[in-house]
């Protein structure tokens, strides 16, 4: 069985991946700060996390993915204050939008989405442990991590605090984000400030620093040692460096075996920013008429360790690419083909399987894997033109596309629609009666589900005063 090679930012090389226990991959992914809509850069990172988890399943592993929701930090507090609503009301709204966005992009949900505000006790326990272990100290109601106490500080990012100008030990950092040059003792617990949400603690009222949430919540759900930790490259320093110091300082065990970091997305060659007018959310693009599978495709056009230059032209290109896939999928079952199988199709599909897996095994080379799918389509089209494709060949082609899509997730709906068995008139009538009964009982959700199920099979309903009419679309 060929193995997945993953680039590990900790060792700076590709390594064969296996979960520590041989079957369940424990994956922790830094999630969104729920203070605004996710932008397409954030979403690139979440789509890449999704590809990783989907491919781990493809390789036969169970996946336990945990993604945190940062619902208390400087940005969420400022946002709630600006709108004059409570922090939870404010973050609830953006959490909901986040879930809608990942659903739109066909991102498979993580196993757990723990919220920082619901894990304050676990964070406090870890902070206490760090104090007990001599890695943290209290100053003015706040608790700081003493980076000089952790000999491995810098092992991920390559930072050497002792070589920094000035004395790193004496700088105490309050903010969640800071630059490499500023490395110093970072805050684990922040003493309460007026008008900010605060929780009681052994060190006085306050709130957690940002870094501690990921250490505490990953340990709570996945244990002391993760198989894989993901995030975008901007998190390597300070966030992930600090997570290692916290977790290893508290547990004395290795925190994470594989660190996997995705590069950033830029727009038309520039860093995305609101002031440059090149800042997009998923909703902006959908409103402009772009389809979610095309957006997902566009976010997958560069290898995850390369910057992705997002352009409108590229997105239009993705729209055409997805359209080409859809046309192929819709056309294949409708072709008048001779009965039976052909040896050539079997060979083409077997090679596609092999090449797809080889590309993905090579540090998740999605552009390469996508190329394999298009090469297969090209070859099948040539067979169709030459009158060589047979009915049963279509089955193995569909099987391959379905397997490839279990990873890529860009043709899921089309494949489902193409594979639905034609529905019989009696079944339609029975479902319409069931929907009518559900509506009479006020069970509108179930009634809508039935309608959606029929729509997915090409049946169009029309409710009239005398009953529901239907036709095949
Ligand atoms: P945030 O909601 O700001 O905490 O970010 C959520 C995730 O998106 C984090 O993993 C960030 O590292 C990542 N991220 C932020 N900006 C970009 C970008 N331009 N491209 C890709 N990922 C990004
Ligand atoms: Zn994190």
- Which atom in ligand 1 lies closest to the alpha carbon of residue 42? 8
Range in 73-87, 179-193, 251-265, 403-417 the model is least confident about: 179-193
Query: Of the ligands numbered here, which is closest to the C-alpha atom of 238?
Result: 2
**The last residue of a domain, from among 262, 281, 308:** 262
Sign of CA dihedral 423, 427, 433, 435: negative
> Closest ligand 1 atom to the C-alpha of 272?
19
Give residue 45 CA to ligand 1 midpoint distance, Å: 7
- What pLDDT sits at residue 420? 61
Distance (angstroms) between ligand 2 centre and the Cα of 240 equals: 7
Q: Do 70 and 27 have their domain in common?
A: yes
Listed residue (95, 38, 44, 96) closest to 68, CA to CA:
95
User: Which residues, in sequence order, are CB contacts of 358 under 8 Å at separation 6+?
Assistant: 2
Q: β-pairing, 308-310 with 142-145?
A: unpaired
Residue span of the structural domain in which 373 resides: 267-418
Is the overall model pTM greater than 0.75, yes or no? yes
pLDDT confidence of residue 165: 54
pLDDT digits (tens, 9 = 90+) for 117-165: 999 999 999 999 999 999 999 999 999 999 999 999 999 999 987 766 5
What are the strands, taking DSSP E only, across 46-171? 62-67, 136-139, 142-145
Ligand 2 centroid distance, CA of 214 (Å): 5
C-alpha 87 to ligand 1 mean position (Å) = 21
Please write the tens of the pLDDT for every residue from 407-423.
999 999 999 988 766 67
Q: Within this chain, do residues 227 and 356 fall inside the same structural domain, yes or no?
A: no
Residue 175's pLDDT is: 79
Q: Which two tokens stand for residue 340?
A: 């039976």
Q: Do 252 and 313 sit in the same domain of this protein?
A: no
Sign of the CA dihedral 316, 318, 323, 328?
A: positive
Q: Percentage of the chain with pLDDT > 90?
A: 84
Q: How far is the CA of 299 from the centre of ligand 1 (A)?
A: 13
Examine the domain organization and report whether 289 and 394 are in the same domain: yes
In percent, the amount of the chain with pLDDT more than 70 equals 97
Residues 101 and 225 in one domain: yes
CA angle 2, 46, 220 (to 5 degrees): 85
Q: Report how many domains make up the chain.
A: 3
Same-domain status, 354 and 443 = no
**1 in Cβ contact with 61 (< 8 Å):** no
Residues 203 and 228 in one domain: yes
**Cis peptide upstream of residue 238 (ω within 30 degrees of 0):** yes
Residue 170: pLDDT band (50, 70, 90) is low
209 and 327 share one domain: no
260 band by pLDDT with thresholds 50, 70 and 90 = very high
Ligand 1 binding residues, C-beta < 6 A: 30, 32-33, 41-42, 44-45, 231-232, 234-235, 264-265, 272
Ligand found nearest the CA of 101:
1
Q: Are residues 215 and 279 in the same domain?
A: no
Q: Point out the domain boundary residue: 262, 279, 302.
A: 262
The whole-number average pLDDT for the span 90-109 is 98
For residues 362 and 5, the answer to whether their CB atoms sit within 8 Å is: yes
Task: Report residue 166's pLDDT band, with 50, 70 and 90 as the boundaries.
Answer: low
The residue from 262, 284, 308 where one domain ends is 262
Rounded Cα–Cα distance for residues 360 and 4 (Å): 7
Q: 199 and 327 share a domain?
A: no
- Rounded CA gap, 450 and 445, in Å? 9
User: Which atom, in ligand 1's list, is nearest to the CA of 45?
Assistant: 22
Q: Are residues 231 and 276 in the same domain?
A: no
The answer to whether residue 168 scores a pLDDT higher than 80 is no
Which pLDDT score, from 0 to 100, does residue 273 have? 82
């Amino acid at each position: 069985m060929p193995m997945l090679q993953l680039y590990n930012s900790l060792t700076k090389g590709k390594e064969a991946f296996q979960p520590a226990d041989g079957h369940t991959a424990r994956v922790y992914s830094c999630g969104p700060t729920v203070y605004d809509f996710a932008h397409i850069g954030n979403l690139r990172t979440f789509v890449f996390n999704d590809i990783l988890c989907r491919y781990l399943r493809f390789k036969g592993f169970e996946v336990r993915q945990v993604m945190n929701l940062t619902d208390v930090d400087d940005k969420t507090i400022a946002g709630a204050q600006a709108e004059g609503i409570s922090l939870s009301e404010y973050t609830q709204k953006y959490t909901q939008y986040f879930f809608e966005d990942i659903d739109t992009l066909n991102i498979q949900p993580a196993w757990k989405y723990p919220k920082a505000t619901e894990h304050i006790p676990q964070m406090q326990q870890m902070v206490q442990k760090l104090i007990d272990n001599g890695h943290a100290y209290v100053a003015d109601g706040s608790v700081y991590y003493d980076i000089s106490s952790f000999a491995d500080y810098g092992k991920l990012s390559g930072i050497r605090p002792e070589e920094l100008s000035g004395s790193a030990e004496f700088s105490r950092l309050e903010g969640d984000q800071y630059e490499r040059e500023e490395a110093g003792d970072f805050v684990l617990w922040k003493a309460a400030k007026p008008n900010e949400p605060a929780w009681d603690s052994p060190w006085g009222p306050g709130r957690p620093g940002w870094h501690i949430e990921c250490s505490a919540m990953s340990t709570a759900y996945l244990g002391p040692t993760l198989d894989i930790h993901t995030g975008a490259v901007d998190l390597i320093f300070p966030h992930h460096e600090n997570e290692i110091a916290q977790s290893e300082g508290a547990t004395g065990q290795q925190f994470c075996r594989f660190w996997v970091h995705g590069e950033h997305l830029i727009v038309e060659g520039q860093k995305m920013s609101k002031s440059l007018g090149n800042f997009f959310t998923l909703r902006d693009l959908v409103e402009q008429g772009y389809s979610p599978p095309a957006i997902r495709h566009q976010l997958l056009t560069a290898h995850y360790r390369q910057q992705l230059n997002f352009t409108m032209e590229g997105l239009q290109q993705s729209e055409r690419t997805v359209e080409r896939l859809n046309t192929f999928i819709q056309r294949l079952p409708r072709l008048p083909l001779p009965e039976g199988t052909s040896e050539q199709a079997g060979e083409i599909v077997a090679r596609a399987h092999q090449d797809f897996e080889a590309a993905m095994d090579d540090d998740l080379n999605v552009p390469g894997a996508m190329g394999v799918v298009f090469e297969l389509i090209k070859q099948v089209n040539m067979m169709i033109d030459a009158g060589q494709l047979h009915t049963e060949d279509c089955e193995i082609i569909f099987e391959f596309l379905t397997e490839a899509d279990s990873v890529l997730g860009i043709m899921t709906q089309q494949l489902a629609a193409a594979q639905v068995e034609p529905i019989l008139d009696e079944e339609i009538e029975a479902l319409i009666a069931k929907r009518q009964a559900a509506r009479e009982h006020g069970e509108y959700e179930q009634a809508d589900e039935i309608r959606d199920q029929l729509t997915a099979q090409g049946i169009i309903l029309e409710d009239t005063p005398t009953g529901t009419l239907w036709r095949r679309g």
